[in-house]
Amino acid sequence: MLNRIRQKLEAAFPGAKVQIADTSAGHETHNSSGAHLAVSITYKGFAGKSLLEQHQMVYAVLKEEMKEQVHALKIKTRTQ
């Protein structure tokens, strides 16, 4: 799943540097609803967008995954 998510993000944000980690460990008590992931994305296209808009762009790419497979996504966005 991590590789597919990375591929989707790299396809959606050309030239972006994408780091992704599974941080599910420690959430065993309530992760029946999906994985906990952390993504860090450096993408020039985030420039000029608010933090909220940047995160919404990321969620839009992972819309399907967020429905079931992913319970929580920690997002860190940078423009450079």
Partner 1 sequence: MNPEIKQIIEERINSSKLFLFMKGTPEDPQCGFSAQVVSILNDLGIEFASFDVLSDENIRQAIKEYANWPTIPQLYINGKFIGGCDIVRELVASGELQGLVAR
- The DSSP call for residue 35 is E
Residues with Cβ within 8 Å of 72's Cβ and at least 6 positions away in sequence, in order, are 27, 34, 36, 37
Binding status of residue 49 toward partner 1 by CB under 8 A: no
Compute the residue count for the chain.
Answer: 80
Binding status of residue 76 toward partner 1 by CB under 8 A: yes
Which span sits near partner 1 by CB under 8 A: 3-11, 13-21, 40-48, 59-67? Answer: 59-67
Site of interaction with partner 1 (CB under 8 A): 27, 30, 51-52, 55-56, 59, 63, 66-67, 72-76
